[in-house]
Structures are given as structure tokens and as C-alpha cells.
Amino acid sequence: MKSSKKSAENTAAKKPKKQKSAKKTFSFIKKFILTFILCLIIFVLAIGSAMAGLVGGAVYGYIKTSKPVTEEQLLAKSSNRTTFIYDAKGNVIQKLTGRDNMDSEPITDKEVPKYLKDAIIAIEDERFETHPGVDIQGVINAGLGFAKSILTGSESKSRGGSTITQQVIKNITGDDRRSIERKVQEGYAAIMLEQKLEKWQILELYMNLGYWGNSCTGVQSASKKYFGKPVSDLSLAQCALLAGIQNSPGKYNPFTEKGRKNAKERQEIILSLMLKQDRITQAEYDQAIKEDLKYIPKSSSQKVVSVQSYFVDQVIVDVRKALMEQMNISATMANYMIYGGGLEIYTTMDPKIQADMDSVFLDDTYFPLVNETAKRQMEHPQAAMAIIDVQNGHVKALYGGYGKKEASNTLNRASSSLMRRQPGSTAKPIVVYAPAIDSKTVTAATVIEDKPVYMLTGKDAERQYPTNYDNKHDGLTTVRNAIKNSVNVVAAAVWRDYLGADASIEYLKKVGIDREKERYISLVLGGWEQGINPLQLAASYVPFAREGIYYEPSTFTLVKDSNGAELINRKAANFNIACSEQTAFIMTDMLQEVTKGRTSTYPHSGTAVTNVNEDKIGMPVAAKTGTTQSNIDKWLVGYTPYYSAAVWYGYDNSGAEPIPVKTAEMYQAHKIFTAVMQKVHEGLPRKEFNEMPSDIVKKQICIYSGKIATDLCKRDPRGNATFTEYFIKGTEPRDDDPCTLHVEAQVCTESQDTLKRNLLAGPYCPADTVVSKVFIQRDPPYLPEKPNEKPPKDTAYELPAGEFCTVHGAPPELEIPGIDDIHDWLWPIGDDNIPGSGDGSQADQSSTHELDTVIPLE
């Protein structure tokens, strides 16, 4: 310290407070305020005293609400103690020890060569040794340089106005907002920090907390990464190069050709500044300029660290975020605490469930190499899975990719924010059906016409959209059966006609998904721009199993510091009500249909029944399948009374063309789900889904009209069309409003139309060809919207109204001869031939007519 003359061996972690006099402390605050007063004077001259008064008030407000760096924030930079991570049973599953687990090696001021300190000061903050934390001259120079660049259109050559102390503040807090408020508060915090620490301690913090590119936090790890040696062995040329990297690690990356060129140019600028500021001699400058900078190969610089599991990777992400929020520290500072602060982190991981999941993901039989496109692009099939306890939202297991995990912090497809795959039809329950049923505008028995639809506008208005996966249409379909067979048209129609974007987006927010900017029909079908990961999807289905309660998924419950004091306690889960208990009950009952065969006369089995069902898992199960366009992604999300889980299967698509999942691997997500969940539920007591809650009523309905069933519904030509359905009280069909869709008519069995329907019997159909049949009769009748549109399948069962038998017509009309006809027939010669009017010969001749052939008149 300045007052106590402590040696430089003291590290910043000790944070000795300066014994400043009240007068000196006031002096620094006074300088800070005077700085802003000076700025305000300039501002007044520019735009007037009224505006200056407003700005002055704002500056005062910013200072008043600023938060100086605390002792706890400075304590976060500790790096020598081992952190222990425990599973839910209290077993240690990971030890984290500073440099063994992260590419960061804190260094003390004593270890840093003077060349490196001078290089940093020369380029970043040349008046560092003398200013109180804020460099007034630097701010003015930066402002003038910026103004000049605006006027001339050239790039500003001046250094930014932030001092090294201010950059330390930003590295500690992680606050990088671009605002006047932030800059004012940062300046004030910098002045306060200068009251607590010596200059060498602040510079030490700068060198340890800064990011130096290629995953290096701190200058020591950067030195070893790029030059293969500690900073104490660096030459002047190497020190100058390192000093320039932190300004823009990507631009000055020594591992790229362009980066090396940029870094060399900046190194020469730094050396020039060091010479100009009398920090080095001309001879030292000349030698450093000529030095050939040699970097070690990137592959040789990779540090060998212990491999963390996918679960531990996610725990570290979550704990880091929690520490940043609770302690107001940066990600870098939080990492120091996690990897070297001696923390105790208690996780939610169940070791048995995790082992069950691991065994499946390490089994090659679930990842068949049958995709020729993938082989050409040298990609292996991938999958990921997450399992959550539905009682509290605790994450029990995660696995983020195929096979053995080879490194820490690799892409975690199970839970990473970078894993954003479209969910396909798994979106329908959470985007459409749950919010629609919860709003009581739709029931499980609501009937929608599954027919060709045209929901696009503009140039695509004539194109059918959406289409069903088989490009066929069943016609009248209940919501229940639309879920069972994953009918796109019905989901889209419910969203468009009954629900709307606002209700969908609001519900999604309740289950932890923000899709505010995706207010279009593809939201319904899971064609999401932002995508989703298995952990989010599994969590979004928890309310269906848990009486409508959504739990924010949690990977840890408690974090303690090295002294055993609680830092973060999340034993009490964060939750909210996503939907009513009644909605959750009905959704579960419908989603169980997806895992069952034909349970009514609806002509489809559930889309998951072959591989996912109660018999295979050994526990009641509800599920939903999902496939994205061109079969790029395959999903299975499902839940039991114990756990909710989601599986994604597909390819990373890192090559030139997307890789569709082929037929031979089409159901791998289903198979992985069942393999894991079967193991997980072994030995667990059988448990049913929640009992039927109050305010649920049951009605026997017609599955094609959604109304109260009649005897005619039982005689539907496809079979018994009745089903006992659940309703939220008040949404059930009225008993006095029965099904009128089904009608009975007399038809002729020997006459059919082009749809092979028997036509209505006519008055001349023989009695033995006339039977009574039941048909459906839409009101209004089905009419195609576009020419050449193929009608729904159920038009084959529709009453052929107005179409009568064409086989049995009326008998030919018989012509009854009049008296003149008989006269002409009998005596065609004339009246002279009438018997008795001539000689006997004529009479004899005419007597030869066979009078017995005359048609009798009666």
C-alpha cells in the first residue's frame, strides 16, 4: 500500500485497505466531480444552460446510484483452493482446481517483467501512474479524436478514454453497456477502487482478469499459449505483442495469418509509444523491431485438463450465471470462484439415472451408420437427452452427444444455449393445444375439418400450407385424434381460428420459452427460428404431469464458500402456474393416446406406439413425436408420473448440405427414449398419473361431430364412433344438442357412385337390394376450395344427397292400342275386307288370321 509501503509480493486477493486521510479521499472525489463540472461547462457553451442543468442532474443521479467494487467482488479472484461438486446423494463427482480445469493462471506483480507492464501502460493508459482512476486529458483527447474522425471520415487514431482502472472495473462487474450512465458509474467506481488498492495491485488485476484470446484468461496463460513460456521469460518484442492483444483478441489472434499481421503492426505501434514515452531506449527499440516472433503451433499449446461430464459442464454454466447475478461480478471473476475458490456445489444429478443414460449413449447400436450423406460429409449421428423430476424441476441426468466425452466444455446438445434445433410437432401441445384448452375456447372433442388449406399470403397464396406428413386428409377430426396422429392442418386451424399468436406466446413464456418475435404459422409446426434444446423441451412438458405447475429446471441446489457459508440456496424451486390442473389432466390423457394403438374408430394408431408405450417402459407414459422439414431433426418428448424427458436425434450439419435422417434411423429418438426410461423406472413402484381433478366432467360424444352421441353414431360405417371424453366443466356439449352429423338413408346395394358409395334407393329398386345405412352429412356440405383439390377421405362416407340408383329405373311404358289400331291391324286392306261385305273367298282368306294373338283390351 501507498501508506504502509507493503512489498509487491502482496497479491490483489488480500485487498489491503489504504489508510487514506479523509482529506485525501475527499480530494479524489472532488477531482472526479470537477471533471464532470468541466465537461458540463463545455456542454453549456454548446447547447445552453437549461440542458446542462438536466445533464448535471443526471450525472449526480448516476453517481448516487453507482455501486463501488466490494470486498466480496475482490475476494472472488482467489485461485488456489479446490472446488468440490457433489451429486444428489452427496458423492463427490468432480474436483475443480484452478489451472487444472481452466486456461487461466493468475500471476503476481513480482513475476511480471517491467517490459510488459510498460507496454500495457504505454498503449492503454500512459498516465496510469498519476491519474486518480479517471484520465481527464485522455477523455478530452478521445473526444477530440472521435469528432475529427466524424468530420474527416477517417478512422480515429486516438486511444479510448477508459483507463486501466476503468477496464478492471468492467472486468470485475461484467457491465459493458454502451451508455453515459455506465461510463459515469464506471468512472466513479474506478476512483473508489484507487482508494482501496495500490497501482501495482490494479495493474495485476488487469493482467489476470483480461481476456487474451484463444480461451486464455490472464496474460500468463496467453504467454504459454502463444510463446510456450511464462511471462517472466518474455523478450521486449514478445511483451509488446502480448500487450496489444487484449484490445481485440480476434483481430490480433497470433494463430491466424491475418491476425499475426495485425498483431505485428500493433506491436510496432506499442514499441514506438514506449520509445516516445522514454520507457525504452533506441537500442532496445531497434532490437525489438528486428526480432523474429516465433509462435508455438496451436495444437502444441492445448492444455491437457480433466474431462468434465456434460452434467458438470451445465452445472458450471448455471453456477457461473448465479454468481454473476448475486454478487454483481463478471464471468471471469465467477470462473475464478468456481475453479479456484474452494466452493462446495451440491447438484441435482441422480447417479443411477445418469449411469442409465450414459450406458445407452455409449452403445453404438443406437447410432447406426446407415446414412450415406453423413458418410460423405464424415459426420456421425448425434443425439442428446435430458431428464427432469416432475415434482420439483430438478435435472436428474444429461447427455450431450454420441459416445464417450473427450473434453470439457464441448457442445452440450442436451442443454447448451448454442443447441437450437427446431422442435417439429413436439411444439403443438405447448404452442396450441394446452393454451387453447386452458382458455376454454377448445376442448378435446372440438372437431376441425382436416382438408387442404391455404394459410399463406402473397405469391404463395395458391400453395397448400400447411400439409400433413402423408399429404392426406381425414376430414372431420377431433383435437384428441389430431394429437394422436400429429395432424398439422388441425393444429394450424385451431391456432388461426380459436387461439392466436398472443395466447401462444404468453403460454410459452410460462414454460420458460420466449418466442415473442415468431408470430407466424410456423410457430405452430415447430419451425422455430431460435430452436430449442432437450432440457428446455422436457421442462416445458412438466406442467402436464404436475397439475399445471412449471418448474424452472435446476442443476444445483446449494453453493457454499470455502468457509462453509451459503452463497446461493436454491433448494426451494422457482415455479409458476402454466395452466390449470384440469388442462394438465386433459393434456396428459390426450398425450397418452400417442403411445397407444387404435382406441376408437379413428383409423390411426399413436405416432409413438411402436417404440414408446407403457408395456416397454413399465410405467404409464404420455409422449409427443416431432419431425422437422426434410427429416433434419427427430424428437421424442414424454413423461411418466416420475420424470419428464426429451431426446433429439440428428446430425450437426457442419458440412455443405443438411443431412436428413434416413428411414433406417427414423425412430432412433424413440428407441433411445425407451431404452433409458425403461432402465430408469426399473424397481420403482407403479404410479398412475394424477387422479381426475374436480370440475372435470365426462360425456359420451361422437368423434366426428364432437356432440353428444346418438345410436346412429354407433352405426357409423367405419365402426362405433362414440368415445367417452373429458371436459372442463362448462365446456362440455349440451345433452339437448346431440349429434346431427349422422343420418340414416335407404340405399340400393347394386348401385354406386365414383366414390363407391351406394346410391339412394329409387321407387323401382327391388326390395331385396334396398338396405338402411348410416352416413355423415356435413352442414354446410364440403366444397373444394381450389380446382382439382383432392377431397378428404371421409367424403366416402358422406350421404350422396340427391343421387338415386341408376340401375333400377321405371319399366318401359306400354302402348295401349286404340280401336283404330285394332281395325287397321285386323283389316289392313280396307273396309271392303270386313267380313260380310264381299264374296266368300275373301272371307275365307281373312279367316286365316290368328285372332288369338290379338292383345286383350282388358
CB 217 within 8 A of CB 335: yes
Q: How many helices (H) and strands (E) does the chain have?
A: 29, 19
Nearest in space to 284 (alpha carbons), one of 242, 236, 234, 241: 236
| Given the residues 79, 104, 124, 486, the one annotated as active site | 124
Report DSSP letters for 313-337, one per residue.
Answer: HHHHHHHHHHHHHHHT--HHHHHHH
425 in active site: yes
Give CA–CA dist 757/799, Å, rounded. Answer: 8
- What angle is formed at CA 542 by the lines to CA 539 and CA 547, rounded to 5 degrees? 155
**What does the block give as the cell for 32?**
472526479
Give CA–CA dist 476/493, Å, rounded. Answer: 12
CB 639 within 8 A of CB 545: yes
**What does the block give as the cell for 608?**
409413438
CB 354 within 8 A of CB 397: yes
The rounded radius of gyration (Å) of the Cα atoms in the chain is 41
449 in active site: no
Would you call 100 exposed, middle or buried from its count of C-beta atoms within 10 A (0-12, 13-18, 19+)? middle
Give CA–CA dist 78/12, Å, rounded. Answer: 9
Strand-pair partners of 701: 708, 723
Give the type of residue at 276.
K
Give CA–CA dist 485/594, Å, rounded. Answer: 7
**What does the block give as the cell for 28?**
479524489
Q: Reduced to 3 states, what is the DSSP secondary structure of residue 797?
A: helix
Exposure string of 272-290, with b = 16+ CB inside 10 Å and e = fewer, is ebbbeeebbeeebbeebee
Give CA–CA dist 608/424, Å, rounded. Answer: 14
| Given the residues 425, 504, 600, 705, the one annotated as active site | 425
**What does the block give as the cell for 746?**
335407404
- Cβ partners under 8 Å of residue 522, min gap 6: 528
**What does the block give as the cell for 598?**
387404435
Give CA–CA dist 56/41, Å, rounded. Answer: 10
Report DSSP letters for 535-597, one per residue.
Answer: HHHHHHTHHHHTTTEEE--BSEEEEE-TTS-EEEE--SPPEEE-S-HHHHHHHHHHHHHTTS-
- Hunting for cell 432437450 — which residue is that? 534
Neighbours of 222 (CB within 10 A): 27
The residues assigned a catalytic role are 124, 425
